[in-house]
Structure 1
Amino acid sequence: MSEKHAKKHKGSGPSAIGKLYLLSYNGIQTLGWAYLLCNSVLYFLNRGTLQGFWNEIKWTVIIFQGAAVLEVVHSMIGLVSSGFMVVLMQVYSRVFLVFGVLLITHGGATSPGLPLCVLAWSITEIIRYSYYGLNLMNAIPETLTFLRYSTFLILYPLGITGELLCMYHSLDEVKEKKLFTSTMPNQWNYIFDYYYFLIVYMLLYIPFFPYLFSHMLSQRKKVLGGDKQKIK
């Protein structure tokens, strides 16, 4: 899941144009994820099923999750002071799931993990992007700060569980259809099996989840624990 746009060092910050852009970006993302959450809740309240859920939300997820790639760019060019590698890892995991699993497999798109992902992602992003926008205006209420640095304790493990379930339910289809798989002989003389790639990728969650989770715990301690150090 994606980390935060932090404040610049005291006495510095984005230009007026940069600030206006970030306000627009964060505002649009907040509205987009709020729409996704409402749409998802209404879908299941109207007795929607897992079979049709992905088609109901597909384009909303593609647009607003795809737009998260801009956060990597923001960090890379110094528009925000978030750590580039942390942002890259957090954004990549979701973008990969959307474009590398959900869009290409029926199993992944109908997995019970998808509603978990959407629930965790949307609540997290509504809080996160609204926090970023209000941060630019120095108008963050204490309640929002608490939510920003507390809800991940539940939502991050929930989202990770959903992502892994989606990938797990896509494996048989990937293997059967040999999706993105290359066997010898071929003109490039290389072998690639997407099925085993996904398995290895899922195993990588074991070391990376504790790293990213501990990073967020550190940020929580700095903000809610009274530590006045700058958030990186």
Structure 2
Amino acid sequence: MVKTFSTQYLKLYNVLSCFLWLSVLIRAGLLWHISGDQRAVFNHTNVLVRWVQTLALAEVFHSILRFVKSSPFTTAIQVLSRLILVWGVCYLFPQSINTSPIYLFMILAWSITEVIRYAFYACNLAGSVPKLLLWLRYNTFLVLYPIGAGSELLLVLKTFRVAWNTFFLSKIVWTAATVIYPFGFYMLYTHMISQRRKVLKLTKKDVKA
């Protein structure tokens, strides 16, 4: 009964998250295509991005409750790093980044990654993952992760001076983020590469069989 509930709940969560990130992707893409104005992209997407990303806090509890096999520590690092961006950087210091193309690169990398990831999870729970989706899941991150993480770090650095001069807590958070980001990226990126190797081995075995 519990397993059935968690499976159905996760299907709903992943489908909902996929559509929410798809809406971010479409909105950002259309705004940039129509206006070409970085400020317009920021002003009309930052609230949506903030709350869609905040929803991902649920994934920390999913791992703690063992609804999924993901490490709670790894999941928490990934979610926390993004929450620092949407609440600490974009929400507190919009005037420092609202005209920067770095923000657009970040949310495009995030949204494409998440549309693929959540679609993959939803299909996997349904028992059938299309080959194209499997390929996208374990190959696109090779490019999208560096773009996303690099953009995150650049936005932290871009707001470092103003954050440092604002209040004491920001001195601690921004300094910690600047130091931790490279290590966090390395850990998450190598973890995904390891997962990619495992999946490719299993895929090759299935083809041979």
- 1:19 aligned residue: 7
Where does structure 2 lack aligned partners over 5 or more consecutive residues?
Answer: 205-209
Of 86, 93, 103 in structure 2, the residue corresponding to residue 98 of structure 1 is 86
- 1:187 aligned residue: none
> RMSD of the TM alignment (CA)?
1.9
TM-score by length of 1: 0.82
Q: Which whole-Å deviations, capped at 9, do the CAs of 1:6-31 have from their partners, x for residues lacking one?
A: xxxxxxx9622212211111111110
Q: Say whether residues 1:116 and 2:105 are aligned partners.
A: yes
Q: Which whole-Å deviations, capped at 9, do the CAs of 1:107-146 have from their partners, x for residues lacking one?
A: 1344322111111100000000001101111110111111
TM-score by length of 2: 0.90
Q: Secondary structure at the match of 2:27?
A: helix
- Work out whether residues 120 and 156 of structure 1, in 8 Å CA contact, stay in contact via their aligned partners in 2: yes
- Work out whether residues 153 and 178 of structure 2, in 8 Å CA contact, stay in contact via their aligned partners in 1: yes
Partners of 1:132 and 1:22 in 2: how far apart?
9
Q: Which runs of 4+ in 1 moved over 4 A?
A: none
Partners of 2:2 and 2:78 in 1: how far apart?
23
Q: Say whether residues 1:212 and 2:161 are aligned partners.
A: no
- Work out whether residues 156 and 177 of structure 2, in 8 Å CA contact, stay in contact via their aligned partners in 1: no
1:205 Cα offset (Å): 1.8
Higher share of residues assigned helix:
2
Partners of 2:53 and 2:123 in 1: how far apart?
21
Q: Which whole-Å deviations, capped at 9, do the CAs of 1:50-99 have from their partners, x for residues lacking one?
A: 22322200221122101101000000011111111111111111111111
Where does structure 1 lack aligned partners over 5 or more consecutive residues?
Answer: 1-12, 182-191
Q: How many residues were matched structurally?
A: 203
Q: Secondary structure at the match of 2:159?
A: helix
Q: Secondary structure at the match of 2:202?
A: coil
1:196 Cα offset (Å): 5.4
Partners of 2:2 and 2:53 in 1: how far apart?
24
1:206 Cα offset (Å): 2.3
- Work out whether residues 17 and 52 of structure 2, in 8 Å CA contact, stay in contact via their aligned partners in 1: yes
- 1:221 aligned residue: 197
Of 155, 171, 190 in structure 2, the residue corresponding to residue 195 of structure 1 is 171
